[in-house]
Amino acid sequence: MTDDEIQTLIEDATADYALGDSEAALAKLGRATAAAPASFEAWHAAAEVNFSLRRLDDAVVAAERAHALRPGDLFINTTLSRIWMERGDKARAEHFGAQAKIQGWKDQLKHPEAEKPL
């Protein structure tokens, strides 16, 4: 599959999920991750859909795959924090929450004009 085909598959899965068809979304994300195991977006989307369904084991596996691809990403660290909190592991949740905050601060330092208070 080409990068464009992978992206389309992820977008279709996102639409399926938004329309309430989580199983179709997961099937498409499974195809995307199988065809492009280095697709951060596919793994992150799979983590989020599984988390929303409370399939926490599958969610953490997908989130860890995404995190391995982009450990400094604010959103995957936030996702991991939410998953670990739901699983009852406060220490891990706090670790990933802190990583998300650090990344948020780094982003603010890089783009101070984007965060102006009203």
Mean pLDDT in order along the chain per 10 residues (118 residues): 94 97 97 97 98 97 98 94 95 91 84 64
Cβ-based burial of 95 (10 A; exposed 0-12, middle 13-18, buried ≥19): middle
- At residue 114, the pLDDT reads 66
Domains of the chain: 3-114 (1.25.40.10)
CB 76 within 8 A of CB 42: no
CA atoms of 55 and 5, how far apart (whole Å): 27
Report pLDDT for 21: 97
Residues 12 and 73: their CA atoms lie apart, in Å, by 23
Length of the chain measured in residues: 118
pLDDT at 58: 98
